[in-house]
Structure 1
Amino acid sequence: MLEDVASDAEIVEYGLRQAKIKFTCRRVDTREDFLQELERRTPDLILADYSLPSFDGLTALRLAREICPETPFIFVSGAMGEEVAVDTLKMGATDYVLKQRLGRLGPAVERALREAGERRQRRAAEEKLRESEERFRTLFQTAGSVIGVASPEGLILEFNPEAERVTGWQRQEVLGQDIFRLFVPEAYREAVQTEIAKALAGEPTRGFEMPLNLRHGGERLFLWNVNRLLGEGDLVLGIIAVGQDITERKRQNLGACPFTWTKSSTKCAASPGICAPPSWKIWAWCRPCIISSMNSASIIILLMPLISRDWTICLPKRPRLSCTASSRRP
């Protein structure tokens, strides 16, 4: 408390006790003592008279704003006109209370302390958010997986360096572009839109396979995890998709006897639930016995876009499969 009259300081303390505010108070009345107290420890609140014989409240306010800018500063004075009071608020004072109306002191102190606490909480939350954003940015930039962020409407908002490397597109070229038109093969768009709608509704999508269109032609197969991004007040900002390139793994793990899709229908007779555009190339992996006796339907078919091989598989409407080969690999 900056107050040169001891009796006035006792009246102010009495007003605080009447408001049931718990406090400890250090009273000073000179510039030197005021600075010494501020530098010793940051107070929770400063109460200051406006006029003192060897010091003044406005100078004290400027010093307090330099040393402890977040500490509430309330003028408690017996001689302060309305114009002067408004000027002090413009300079950074939290409030002012006339000594003739100390009934306002308790509510003014409680409000000042409450608002100061709220500001500290906001700063702490903002600092945590900043640190979280920095960690996310580091992960986003250095991840070995393709990571993309899109708006609820499907417009690309972010695109990490690995996505640039794999697809051939630069980040600035794709921002604002339609993710479906640019990257999702036409045959997959309806299914992908369904998965994104589920993610936006709060149901994360994990482990679905979808090829990605590349800038200079061709596709690569990815395993995708998709989740929604929430902002303040749980506002849905969009979705984040993380993709792992599994093209080579599929080739290595499932490669046996490659075939080429020749049937004009887009339905696979062996697996009626599988559809593919007629222009697609297909890999089929069979047990060795099936190659010689094609009377079994136990063929595993994996849709792999734009892969050409020497074998040809024909899928008639009957369950029995027939196979012809132009050449056989050892």
Structure 2
Amino acid sequence: MLHLEDNPRDADFVRHGLEREGISAEITRVVDRPSYVAALEKGAYGLIISDYTIPGFDGSSALALAREKAPATPFIFVSGTIGEEVAVETLKNGATNYVLKHRIERLGPAVRGALQETCERENLRCAERELREKVEFFRRISENVTDLVAVLDLAGRRLYTSPSYQALLGTDAELHGTDGFAEIHPEDRERIRHLFHETVKTGVGKKAEFRFLLKDGTVRYIESQGGVIRDHEGKISNVIVASRDVTKRKLAEASLRASEERFHSVARTANDAIVIADSGGRIVAWNGAAQRMFGYAEKEVLALPLALLFPEHYDGGRERGLDFASAAG
């Protein structure tokens, strides 16, 4: 604690007043401007107490210096000469409180109040700093992920969309406040809207697959996972949806299915026997010609070893053939 007081008896008076209130602290006493400035520059104090009238110095100047060099430190005037108008003016200029010397019993509550206010102010600063860091953290994540992230209100209107939405639907500014279901394919829209309302009602996020129908008529296949955001009372305030464009995968799967279907169509109509085995040598496909040649229906031979089709005296050639086929892929 830093105490600016030129009168030693008044300094003892203040110290005893604090002790009577159960406040014990290490007090550094200074008596003039030079020693006061040196103390401010030298160390950090939890509280500054100052007389208002100091020979060659004054309380207003002391307050101004404190606000410049230690702006977070609470400042209390303890004076017998300060008037009400001056006291009010010092509060406007940043003093935490003032106590008249003939009302020294008010010093203890004033000090506790000042320290409590400082603690609360510091907690608020920490909370604001933490919030800024979280906002920045979220911003950096949202700007660098390829997934589509949207925050909707309980009516389904967009409050936030990540930058990844821009390539599909537009910027966050363009989408803000718009219907979150407008671009969903008409055949999927009501199903997804129903899942949204279920999430709002139960608080349980839903997985979904649907399609976006874009302005140019193209279709994008989307997979999404919903979740809820709750307010400080635990009530659901928003819905967050993380989605992924899986169009390339869906098209690749469709192409593979079509290719397999073409193969099976050819295999079914082929006059030659076609038998397909996996890397372990077990039968996975068998066409009609193979059934006619070997006398077994496909369901009878699936998962059986391909080696069963060969007579035992061809074991050596059979094994070499299987090894060659496996190595060749």
| TM norm. shorter chain > 0.5 | yes
Instruction: Give the 3-state SS of the residue equivalent to 1:205 in structure 2.
Output: coil
Instruction: Give the 3-state SS of the residue equivalent to 1:27 in structure 2.
Output: strand
Query: Which deviates more, 38-47 or 144-153?
Result: 144-153
Q: Supply the distance in 1 between the matched residues of 2:240 and 2:132 (Cα, whole angstroms).
A: 19
Q: Supply the distance in 2 between the matched residues of 1:75 and 1:29 (Cα, whole angstroms).
A: 15
Q: Supply the distance in 2 between the matched residues of 1:235 and 1:63 (Cα, whole angstroms).
A: 48
For 1:18, the aligned partner's letter is R
Per-residue CA distance 1:119-148 (angstroms, 9 max, x = gap): 101101111110110111111112111122
Are 1:179 and 2:180 matched, yes or no? yes
Tell me: CA distance 1:197–1:68, structure 2 relative to 1, closer, same or farther (3 Å): farther
Larger relative helix fraction = 2
Instruction: Give the 3-state SS of the residue equivalent to 2:53 in structure 1.
Output: coil
Unaligned runs of 5+ in 1: 259-283, 293-330
Task: List aligned pairs for 1:104-143, cutoff 5 A.
Answer: 104-143=106-145
How far did 1:113 drift?
A: 0.3
For 2:26, the aligned partner's letter is T
Are 1:20 and 2:5 matched, yes or no? no
Tell me: CA distance 1:43–1:192, structure 2 relative to 1, closer, same or farther (3 Å): same
Task: List aligned pairs for 1:223-242, cutoff 5 A.
Answer: 223-230=223-230, 236-242=236-242
Aligned residues: 266
Tell me: CA distance 1:257–1:143, structure 2 relative to 1, closer, same or farther (3 Å): closer
Query: Which deviates more, 249-258 or 111-120?
Result: 249-258
What TM-score results when the alignment is normalised by the length of structure 2? 0.73
Q: Supply the distance in 2 between the matched residues of 1:200 and 1:75 (Cα, whole angstroms).
A: 56
Contact 2:158-2:180 at 8 Å conserved across structures: yes
Contact 1:29-1:55 at 8 Å conserved across structures: no
What TM-score results when the alignment is normalised by the length of structure 1? 0.73
Identity %: 35
Contact 1:151-1:239 at 8 Å conserved across structures: yes
Unaligned runs of 5+ in 2: 269-329
For 2:128, the aligned partner's letter is E
- Residue of structure 1 in register with 2:71 after alignment: 69
For 1:250, the aligned partner's letter is K
Task: List aligned pairs for 1:148-159, cutoff 5 A.
Answer: 148-159=150-161
How far did 1:75 drift?
A: 0.4
Q: CA RMSD in A?
A: 2.7
- Residue of structure 1 in register with 2:303 after alignment: none
Q: Supply the distance in 2 between the matched residues of 1:200 and 1:108 (Cα, whole angstroms).
A: 49
- Residue of structure 2 in register with 1:99 after alignment: 101
Larger radius of gyration: 2
Per-residue CA distance 1:252-310 (angstroms, 9 max, x = gap): 3464555xxxxxxxxxxxxxxxxxxxxxxxxx989959x97xxxxxxxxxxxxxxxxxx
